[in-house]
Each structure stands twice: as structure tokens, then as C-alpha cells.
Amino acid sequence: MGGDTGAAFQLLACDPSAVRPDRYLLEGDRCVIGRHESCAVVIAERPGVSRQHAVVERERPGSLYYLLTDNGSSYGTYVNGRRLEPGGRHRLCHDDAIGLGAEEPLLRVVDLDVTGRPAAAAPPPRQLYLDEQHLTFYLRGAPLRLTRSEERLLAHLYRHRGHVCRIESCVEAIWYDEATHDDSRRKGLHTLVSGLRKTLQGEGWTAPILNYREIGYELNLPDR
């Protein structure tokens, strides 16, 4: 599966003895996690886990992405050590750690589109690096100052480096939490790519984003 077709997510148990099943492929629209036997993912013998603790739902009909929501549990739902706010939602990303009732992770999110292809070697400090926890980019060891939309776009291209990301997937990665007309989104994407190119070129990065007309964009990683 190429990076331009979107992600296939799997929930992987950190402790297989406490989670059934120990691997769960997200392919439907809704998945309930909790200690009740009716849940799609059952957590056994863990204090603080509610009967129906959390819900994973497709972002919207036909979307490639999923959102995690706490289902009114008593002790909360955690992502990467941070508790979700009441009513808050988190868009699942590769390697997210999910804790139920405590910070200790019980589940880890696996993006099969990432793990299904050979892993790229970690870039040396002089190249581009993404701190996933804080969504901060570093180029040659120095942090890049980007807008929120630029961060989302660059993160999408970076996570799917080596592949052409289709226009639709770029638009969804940037404006997944906003209702915007498709034509406006495409125009906004073009403007955003132009601005991001200028920012990266100002850092001495030649041809940072390749444009495949009417198809999509590809991140062209610097080699020095």
C-alpha cells in the first residue's frame, strides 16, 4: 500500500495477557474498548478501566482516519502520557500509546502503511527530523518555525516520504477538523505548499516539495 492511499490502522496490545484480541484491525466505523465482553477490544483485570471506556470511530464516513474519544470513564483515557480532555478527541497516528484509566499504555497504534514497507534509516542531525511527540521539525539540528497548517502538511509528507501523497490526502491531513468547500481546500493547499516551499528554501533546502500536477506532492529530503 502506497503512502498516497491512506493508512490502515491496527491496535496492538502492549500486554497480550490483559487485552483480547492482542491485535485488532480498524476497518469498521466504530470500535468500543473496555472491560465488558461486548466490547470489540476487551481489557481484562485492570483497575480503573470502565465497562465501555473509550471509543474509536472513523473520522467521518469514508475517511481514512480514526478518532479516539473517552466514553465518560471515571479515570480517563491517555494518549502518549497525556489525558484527553472531557469531550476531546484525538486523531490516531502511528505509534500512539493509549492508556486506559492510567498513563501506562495498554494499546499501541500501528499504521500498517508505515510498517508494511522497509523502514528508512534515521536521518542524521544535518537532515530533516520530526519530533512526533511535540510535532516539531528540526532541520540540521535547528527547529523550524512553521504555522500549524504547515506543520500538518509537512508531517503528512514526512510520514509518507518516498511516496507521492495525493491532493485529497494532503487536504484531509491539514483540515480534518474543519468544514471547508473542496475547491477552497485545493486552492488553500496550493497556497500552503508555496509558502512552505519558500520557508524551506530559505533554510537552504533546494526543491523541498515536488509537484505532480493534478495528482499530489512528494517530500524531497535534503541530502546535506
Q: What is the pLDDT of residue 190?
A: 92
Adjacent-strand bridge partners of 99: 78, 105
Is the pLDDT at 2 greater than 90, yes or no? Answer: no
Residue pLDDT, tens place only, 110-165? 887 765 544 444 444 447 877 765 667 888 777 888 888 898 899 889 888 888 99
Of 2, 21, 107, 112, the residue nearest 56 (C-alpha): 107
Residue 36 CA to residue 127 CA, distance in Å, equals 47
Q: Is 206 exposed, middle or buried (0-12, 13-18, 19+ CB in 10 A)?
A: exposed
Q: What is the pLDDT of residue 148?
A: 83
Rounded to the nearest 10 degrees, how much is the dihedral formed by the CA atoms of 159, 32, 78, 27?
Answer: 0
Is the pLDDT at 22 greater than 80, yes or no? Answer: yes
Name the percent of the chain lying above pLDDT 90: 38
Task: Please tell me the total number of residues recorded for the chain in this structure.
Answer: 224
133, three cell numbers: 511527540
